[in-house]
Amino acid sequence: MREIRELLVKKINELLENGTVDRVIGWKAGEFCYDVTPAVYKKEDNFDDFLFDGFCGANQSKYLIEETKKEGKILTLLKPCDSYSFNQLLKEHRIDREKVYVLGIPCHGMLDINKMKEQGITGILSITETDDVVTADTLYGEKTCNRKEVLLERCLCCKGSKHMVYDELLMPEEEEKEVETLDRFSKVAELEAMTAEERFAFWRTELSKCIRCNACRNVCPACSCRTCVFDNANSGVAAKVNADTFEENMFHIIRAWHVAGRCTDCGECSRVCPQNIPLHLLNRKFIKDMDEFYGEFQAGTDAETKGPLTAFTMEDCEPDIVYTRGGDK
Partner 1 sequence: MFKISMNEADKLFKAIAESDTLYLPIEKGDQIEFYEYHEGANVRLDALHTVKSAKDAFLPNCETMMEFKMEGKNIEIKEADRIAEEFVVFGVRACDARSFAILDKVYLSDPVDSFYAARREHGIVVSMACNRPEETCFCNKFDIDATNPEGDVVVWIVGDELFWEAKTEKGTALTEKVKSVLTDADSEPVEKQQKEVKAIMEKLPLNSMDMEYLKDADMMELFNSPKWNELYQSCLGCGTCTFICPTCQCYDIRDYDTGHGIVRYRCWDSCMYKDFTMMAHGTNRKTQMERFRQRFMHKLSYFPINNDGEFGCVGCGRCISKCPISMNITKVIKALGGDN
Which stretch in 70-78, 92-100, 152-160, 216-224 sits in contact with partner 1 by CB under 8 A?
Answer: 216-224
The residues in 60-89 that bind partner 1, with binding defined as CB under 8 A, are: 63
CB of 25 to partner 1, least distance (A): 9
The pairing of beta strand 133-138 with beta strand 124-129: antiparallel
Distance CA 288, CA 228 (A): 26
Q: Residue 141: helix, strand or coil by DSSP?
A: strand
The residue within the footprint of partner 1, chosen from 167, 231, 289, 302 (CB under 8 A), is 231
CA 149, chain centre distance (Å): 19
CA nearest neighbour of 51 among 31, 70, 68: 31
Positive or negative, the CA dihedral 191, 194, 199, 205 is negative
Closest distance between partner 1 and the C-beta of residue 210, in Å? 10
DSSP code of residue 317: P
Helices then strands, counting H and E runs in the chain, come out as 12, 8
134-143: long-range contacts, CB 8 A cutoff, minimum separation 24: 134/54
| Closer residue to partner 1 in complex, CB, 246/323 | 246
- Say if CB 219 and CB 62 are below 8 A apart: yes
Q: At closest approach, how far in Å is the CB of 318 from partner 1?
A: 34
Asked if residue 246 binds partner 1 (CB under 8 A), the reply is: no
Residue 137 host element (H or E) = strand 133-138
Among 46, 130, 195, 245, binds partner 1 (CB under 8 A): 245
212 vs 258 by CB, closer to partner 1: 212
d(CA 37, CA 23): 16
Please give the size of the binding site for partner 1, defined by CB under 8 A.
50
CB environment 294-306: b (16+ within 10 A), e (fewer): beebebbbebeee
Q: Per-residue x/- mask for partner 1, residues 119 to 138, rule CB under 8 A?
A: ---xxxx------------x
Q: Which stretch binds partner 1 (CB under 8 A): 34-42, 143-151, 172-180, 254-262?
A: 34-42
**Among 8, 9, 16, 58, interactor with partner 1 by CB under 8 A:** 58
| DSSP string for residues in 93-136 | T-S-GGGEEEEE------B-HHHHHHTT--SEEEEEE-SSEEEE
Where does this chain touch partner 1 (CB under 8 A) — which range of 25-33, 73-81, 87-95, 318-326?
A: 25-33
Should residue 7 be labelled a site residue for partner 1 when binding is judged by CB under 8 A?
Answer: no
Nearer to partner 1, 146 or 208 (CB): 208
Q: Would you give the binding string for partner 1 spanning residues 136-175, x where CB under 8 A is met?
A: --xxx-----------------------------------
**Strand ranges of the sheet holding 100-104, from the earlier edge strand across to the other edge:** 37-42, 23-28, 74-78, 100-104, 168-169
Q: Quick one: which of 16, 24, 36, 78 contacts partner 1 (CB under 8 A)?
A: 36
Residues in contact with partner 1 by CB under 8 A are 30-32, 34-40, 58, 63, 113-114, 117, 122-125, 138-140, 205-206, 208-209, 211-215, 217-219, 231, 233, 238-245, 271-272, 274-277
